[in-house]
Structure 1
Amino acid sequence: MGYSLEQKINKPKSCIITVNYFASELLGNITALAEKYGFDLIIVDNSCNADESEALKNIHGIVVTNSDNVGFGTGCHIGIEEAKRHSEYENFLFVNPDITEIDFSKIAEALEAFGRDHNAAYFQPLILDNRGEESILGIRATSDARVVLLYTFIKKIFTSLEYYVLHAKELSKNTTNIYIPSGAFFIVKANVFDRIGGFPRDTFLYFEEWLFAARVKKLGMYGYIDPSLRVHHEIGYSTGLQYGAGSAKMLRYRHDAFLTAAVIILSNTVIALAAKGVIWLDYGVRSLILNLKRGRQ
């Protein structure tokens, strides 16, 4: 794996880190966010494609070009390490390329409040997608064993589990605490990564936010949603994977990451063994749904 520095940046207090994979045409919203609110910007490019590299040359920030697709978690970690070479940032903003319609008019107040709360490790804006008020924002505080169930089809059978899934319609005007944030857009204090060993790199794609949140929980810290900030997420743009949809390849990525995260977080306990069985069952159900949908096409 190799990467090269292509452009320089200034040194404000916060830095946006975005992992790109053939999404350069969407990055205008993120570059506009960086320029409007004075953030630095680092794009970590996993595309390994000459045309994509050419398209990124006009980015006003740093472009780190990987020689291999290293995945999302490792891409974020590379972005953090690159940022450390240029400044001592207070915050990192992890933003997916498919974030649009950004309303950050109150970002200065939000970051100030975030900095004052020494127990807060991360927060995120209100993230809406094509489901509107039904958009899923994150997972409330709960056990990691229950988290396993929340990520499987079992949630649709035992509807009481839905309580732990936070939807946009349930937000108040004040901040709302969460356990697992949305991976689409969240803001983290830079010093948190020094305490948890950097951005989680245990999976290629998926469940990094669970691994991150579990490590933060061990520090006695927490996260929350600030509804004064609002963005729109073009859900599934990068992967096309929704419940029972997408490709067999992406479904396998999700399954492998799910197993890895569960074993790490549940620490090879009896609960972890049970979780592995549930995860395999979920994979079988999702694969069946995928094949049935293909058969109807």
Structure 2
Amino acid sequence: MIIDKLNIDISIIIVNYKSWKHLENCLESIDKILSKNFSFEVVVVDNCSSDNMFKVFKKKFLQFNFFENTGNNGFANGCNLGAKKAKGNYFLFLNPDTIISEEPLLKMYSFLKENKRIGVVSCNQLNTNGFYEKNVRFFPSFSTLFGVFRAINKKKLNSKFSVKNYVLYPDWVSGAVLLINKIWFDKIGGWDEDFWMYYEDVNLSKKVSNLGGRVAVLTDTEIIHNHGGSSRINIKTASITKTEVLISKHVYIRHNYTGIKHFILQFLVVIHNLIEKFLFGAIGVLFFFIPKLRLNVYLYFNMIKYYASSLLDGTWLSYRSLNHPNKN
């Protein structure tokens, strides 16, 4: 473990919000890494969990750097704050609900150093049920916007991607494990804080792609990811996070499409969300005693509220975003 060194190779940046048990497991896995091939530091940003655990962890893991954010300002803001505090030449953005070892870190780091055109690299993510998360990810477009669209265009979409020498080049990679050179990070302006949660990793990958960089996944190494462990705590939390997924798709479209394409895509997403959430919400009313079905009722009303406020405020941004025009 290398700390207090002027020239640090990798800064591992972790944004936490009330995921202390997962974070503890993650930090303990990092603490076991003793590499002669690279130096690293750990930067933990807590998005103001306000549960008195910040001081406990700061005291328990003295070898790591802890910073408390001013509020629950979102994943992108927490990542950017961590990057400002970091001293490394490479930034590894890592979810607190992950377990990592030296092998994937070294392979990603070595690959990025040897391939200057690669802007972002990730690796396989193995969940706690023993299944790999999908690596083939597409930018939202007319052919990929909804599941039925992807099914119709499945053959054409899959033909775009193939694994060569254990490397896959998808459109984007998950922010759960994302390594980027500081030069590339500065070039794209870091994480976009218009996104409060979700799609910020899609947008980051898109910015890299727009500047001629490539996005890669190493398929011969992996981390363990307890997917959703840092966000899906209870039905109230789930309703917030699932609502933000829907909102963030609108924000992504706003950033990456203009003119008639922008209008049509936004319209399609609005209609799809209203119809789908209404139908599932109606079922949720009938089976309100089942939490997973009751959740659809909350989602429907959350989206109605969002669309109404979007019209009034003239923005697609979530009101949780720091860049929302009515943010105090």
Q: TM-score range by the shorter chain?
A: 0.7 to 0.9
Distance 1:287 1:233 in 2: 32
**Aligned residue for 2:115?**
117
TM-score computed with the length of structure 2 as normaliser: 0.73
1:160 pairs with one of 153, 159, 162: 153
Q: TM-score, normalised by structure 1?
A: 0.80
Alignment of 1:114-153 (within 5 A): 114-129=112-127, 132-133=130-131, 135-140=133-138, 144-146=140-142, 150-153=144-147
- Equivalent-residue separation in structure 2 for 1:287 and 1:137 (angstroms): 31
Q: 1:274 aligns with which of 243, 264, 268?
A: 264
Separation of aligned partners in 2, 1:56 and 1:287 = 43
> What is the RMSD of the two structures over their aligned residues, measured on CA atoms?
2.9
CA distance in 2 between counterparts of 1:287 and 1:69 reads 30
Q: 2:195 aligns with which of 182, 190, 203?
A: 203
Number of aligned positions between the proteins: 273
Note the C-alpha offset of 1:138: 4.3
Give the secondary structure class of the aligned counterpart of 1:145: coil
Q: Secondary structure at the match of 2:141?
A: helix
The AA in structure 2 aligned to 1:48 is: S
Q: Residues 140-289 of structure 1: matches in 2 within 5 Å?
A: 140=138, 144-146=140-142, 150-155=144-149, 158-161=151-154, 164=157, 174-240=166-232, 247-266=238-257, 268-284=258-274, 285-286=276-277, 288-289=279-280
Is this contact kept in 1: 2:49–2:72, CA < 8 A?
Answer: yes
| CA separation of 1:16 and 1:291: change in aligned 2, threshold 3 A | farther
Aligned match for 2:20, one of 16, 24, 28: 24
Q: Distance in 1 between matches of 2:147 and 2:270?
A: 11
Gaps of 5+ in 1: 1-7
Q: 2:173 and 2:94 mapped to 1: Cα distance?
A: 12
Q: CA deviation at 1:116?
A: 1.5
Unaligned runs of 5+ in 2: 291-328
- 8 Å contact from structure 1 (residues 76, 199) kept in 2: yes
Mark the CA change 1:112 to 1:238 in structure 2 (over 3 Å): closer, same or farther.
closer
Alignment of 1:98-117 (within 5 A): 98-100=97-99, 102-105=100-103, 107-117=105-115
CA contact (8 A) 1:202 1:260 kept: yes
Distance in 1, matches of 2:277 and 2:128, equals 22
* Selected match of 1:75 from 78, 92, 102: 78
Secondary structure of 2:92's partner? strand
| Higher RCO (Cα < 8 Å, 6 or more apart) | 1
Mapped partners of 2:90, 2:48: distance in 1: 26
Cα displacement string for residues 18-41 of structure 1 (whole angstroms, at most 9, x for unaligned residues): 110101111234323443144211
Residue deviations 1:102-157 (CA, integer Å, cap 9, x gap)? 344254344223212110011101112256556222415x6x524xx53534347x
Following TM superposition, by how much is the alpha carbon of 1:252 offset from its aligned partner in structure 2, in angstroms?
Answer: 2.4
Q: Distance in 2 between matches of 1:255 and 1:222?
A: 26
The aligned amino acid for 1:77 is: N
Alignment equivalent of 1:14, drawn from 10, 21, 39: 10
The 5 Å alignment of 1:38-117 reads 38-57=39-58, 58-59=60-61, 60-83=63-86, 87=87, 89-100=88-99, 102-105=100-103, 107-117=105-115
Letter in 2 for 1:160: N
Q: Within 2, Cα distance between the matches of 1:246 and 1:295?
A: 22
**Counterpart of 1:136 in 2: which secondary structure?**
coil
Is residue 108–residue 122 contact of structure 2 (8 Å, CA) maintained in 1?
no
How many angstroms apart in 2 are the aligned matches of 1:13 and 1:207? Answer: 27
Q: 1:128 to 1:155 in 2, by over 3 A?
A: farther
* Residue 110 to residue 78, structure 1, CA distance change in 2 (3 Å): closer
Distance 1:227-1:128 versus aligned 2 partners, 3 A rule:
same
* Structure 1 match to 2:298: none
* 3-state secondary structure, aligned to 1:178: coil
